[in-house]
Structure 1
Amino acid sequence: MCHMFFITVLVLLGAGLAANSEIHSLTCIYTALSKPDGTPGIHKFTAMDLLDGRAIEYYDSESERKVPKQEWMKECLSAEYWGKGTEEQWLESLMNRKRQNDSVVHVLQGMRGCEGKMQPDGTLKFHRAMHTYAYDGHDFLSFDSKNKFWIAAIQEAQLTMREWDSDQATKERIKRYLENVCIKWLKMFLVRGGKQLEEAPPPVVYVFAKKAKVETNLILTCLATGFYTKDIIVRIKRNRRVLAKEDGLMSSGGLPNGDDTFQRRDHVEILKSDLSTFICNVTHEATNISVKKLWGKKLCCFSFVSFLSLD
């Protein structure tokens, strides 16, 4: 399954059936500390499996058990899988190489996974691989799966890069996982987790304005929230023309709400005296939902009138 180079945590992620153009990601993020720092809830090692930014599996060095974060994950894997897990102690050797002692806490973070793009015929095609490390908050190493070599982000990573580059068998195994095995698992869970997407709520859309720093201006905001998956199209129209970055449009991108759903907030600064018609148009392809909201010229939060909502 997921033959991690340094971790044995299995990356098994699920997604719902998606629109043909949708890209899904299957990733594992993990953090290792050189020693416990005494902070409650902060463990020497943690790993989290994510689908499109949504947690589906969790492991930490205190419980030493893999925990499903979604009900359907329990049904997909055997009871033996959800038993005791392990992680290798590899941070110590890296610290020794950097000639650091354990007087302070050092942190190594990693992210590994793949992206798959749904094709018109319903197949999932490899899109991109991700395999990176950061040390004490700075980029450290990354793996180029296409060309099968490691890239050192800083001088201190050169020695590790040369050592890992000499291990051809491991590089072949990592490439095979990232470009093939990872996509196979993702493809399987597109089907297994399909019901989750079918039951996913549509986005709730608000359009409102508040005062800007410039007295003659307003900040017009379009907010879409409560949806899954995170990919969503948000457009603010002024008299039917879609506003862009050149018009001062800014976007938060897809952000987690904390309840397994996502939100996105786009805003633009306009004149108070502008009599144009402003419409927020939101399209969520995963659930085939399109929502339009007309700004009702009112100030402050969630002042809006419904213009049109299409299933």
Structure 2
Amino acid sequence: MTPLIFLILVGIQGSTAVTHSLKYFYTASSGIENFPSYVSVGLVDDVQISYCDSKTNKNIPKQDWMDEVRSEHPDYWKEETETCLVKQQTFKISLETAKQRFNQTGGEHIYQQMYGCEWDNETGEVKVYDQFGYDGEDLIILDSNTQEWIAPRTQAVITANKWNNDRYDLEHEKIYLTHICVEWLKKYVNYGRSSLMRTVRPSVSFLQRFSSSPVSCFATGFYPNKTEMFWRKDGEEIHDDVEKGEILPNNDGTFQMSIYLDLSSVPPEDWTRYECVFQLSGVREDLVTRLEKNKIKTNEVNSTFMLIIIIVSVIIFGFIAAAGFILYKKKTGRKRAVISDEMKPSTSRSETLISRSEILTSSLQTLTSSLQTSSLTSISSDDSKGSSS
């Protein structure tokens, strides 16, 4: 079984021309800052249709066409909100139980359930699944063939045995997954048919990080996400030295994918023998792109271009250095000239100083004469006062 991983799926889209799916993810968490303690997400053909968390406490549609459900079920979103509130409490208890089973108290922990159904609209075949995970690993899984719960972890054996002994609940689980889930899936597909059934071909390009790195055939902008991608050599599919990447969502609702080929041991003249093949569900013609070395986009700068940059940089640096030296010499020459001028005796300055000295001497002589006259007058006056008395 593929381990459950903690993913809040927002805006991820996809579909197939034949098989459709309905999935629900319920996630409870603890110890994660700035993140809701509970989140629920519903998806049809991997397109998000609903969302609810412990902060908003309201289940809301994530696609415009999901509002059409009100025409048949006016209280649909009210009931979905009530389900969200009940699940919050249930999953909070389940998370604490799991922590006790694993002898854990603090830290970041996640308890998650993923369940749903797949329906083939040509053959009518139905597949169902229901599984629980804890901290990114499978905890309890429903075997749809035997209709029994399996516990990959010893800490979950007690719960699995308890659920297996509840025959009524097992029967209810089977009816929901094989009938009720499928009926709702058919309704949702009908509501969103124009969006879910479209096909968009990708743009394909070759990328290479460095000359020694594998060549990546990169396809982006395609829809749906049901696709195959592989390398061919001389018209034959190859698997050696090939590594396939995951299908990832773009922000606009389309997808991207890469497949890598190691050509380190292949002479460049033989690269044209290779081609990248992209197959999209619902499109009959394959998109085939032949590998040509001059069409590979790389992060490595061309050596000739790099040499030109270096030469130009050296020339520019030389001009800047020369200009700086010239300016320095000019400034140095001006400073020397000023210092030389200040060291030379100036006739006008000497004459000015002499003139100022003469004026100062004359003023002092006048002031001395005035003081002497004033002193004599004062003495004469004092003598007169004395004689009067």
Give the TM-score of the pair, scaled to structure 1.
Answer: 0.77
Residues 57-81 of structure 1 deviation map (CA, whole Å, 9 limit, x = unaligned): 1111111111211111112334532
Equivalent pair of 2:66/2:188 in contact (CA under 8 Å): no
Percentage identity across paired residues of the two chains: 27
Find out whether 1:107 has 2:110 as its counterpart: yes
Q: CA separation in 2, counterparts of 1:38 and 1:93?
A: 17
Deviation at 1:101, TM superposition (A): 7.0
The match for 1:147 is 146
1:80-119 residue pairs with structure 2 within 5 A?
Answer: 80-83=75-78, 84-85=81-82, 86-88=85-87, 89-90=89-90, 91-92=92-93, 95-96=96-97, 98=100, 103-119=106-122
Q: CA separation in 2, counterparts of 1:46 and 1:111?
A: 12
Judged with a 3 Å threshold, the aligned counterparts in structure 2 of structure 1 residues 286 and 66 are, in CA distance, closer, same or farther, namely farther
Deviation at 1:262, TM superposition (A): 1.6
Find out whether 1:253 has 2:249 as its counterpart: no
The match for 1:24 is 20
Q: CA separation in 1, counterparts of 2:14 and 2:268?
A: 46
Higher normalized contact order (CA 8 Å, seq sep 6+, divided by chain length): 1
- Among 38, 41, 54, the alignment partner of 1:45 is 38
Q: CA separation in 1, counterparts of 2:168 and 2:14?
A: 31
Equivalent pair of 2:95/2:110 in contact (CA under 8 Å): no
Q: CA separation in 1, counterparts of 2:130 and 2:140?
A: 9
The match for 1:3 is none
Find out whether 1:229 has 2:224 as its counterpart: yes
Give the length in aligned residue pairs. Answer: 273
Q: CA separation in 1, counterparts of 2:268 and 2:104?
A: 63
What secondary structure is seen at the aligned counterpart in 2 of 1:56? strand
The match for 2:281 is 285
Q: CA separation in 2, counterparts of 1:300 and 1:124?
A: 45
Q: CA separation in 2, counterparts of 1:54 and 1:197?
A: 8
Judged with a 3 Å threshold, the aligned counterparts in structure 2 of structure 1 residues 92 and 190 are, in CA distance, closer, same or farther, namely closer
Letter in structure 2 aligned against 1:219: P
What secondary structure is seen at the aligned counterpart in 2 of 1:143? strand
Residues 93-150 of structure 1 deviation map (CA, whole Å, 9 limit, x = unaligned): 563473657544532111111222342xxx5321x32211112333210111221111
1:158-177 residue pairs with structure 2 within 5 A?
Answer: 158-177=157-176
Higher Rg: 2
Residues 174-223 of structure 1 deviation map (CA, whole Å, 9 limit, x = unaligned): 1122222222222333332220145553222223444354xxxx522222
Q: Which runs of 5+ in 2 are unaligned?
A: 1-12, 300-389
Q: CA separation in 2, counterparts of 1:232 and 1:73?
A: 26
- Among 291, 296, 304, the alignment partner of 1:295 is 291
Q: Which runs of 5+ in 1 are unaligned?
A: 1-13, 303-311
Q: CA separation in 2, counterparts of 1:81 and 1:125?
A: 27
What secondary structure is seen at the aligned counterpart in 1 of 2:159? helix
Equivalent pair of 2:200/2:224 in contact (CA under 8 Å): no
Equivalent pair of 1:31/1:109 in contact (CA under 8 Å): yes
CA-based RMSD: 2.7
Find out whether 1:68 has 2:61 as its counterpart: yes
Deviation at 1:288, TM superposition (A): 5.0
What secondary structure is seen at the aligned counterpart in 1 of 2:115? strand
The match for 1:195 is 194
Equivalent pair of 1:52/1:229 in contact (CA under 8 Å): no
Q: CA separation in 1, counterparts of 2:104 and 2:246?
A: 40
Equivalent pair of 2:116/2:130 in contact (CA under 8 Å): yes
What secondary structure is seen at the aligned counterpart in 1 of 2:293? coil
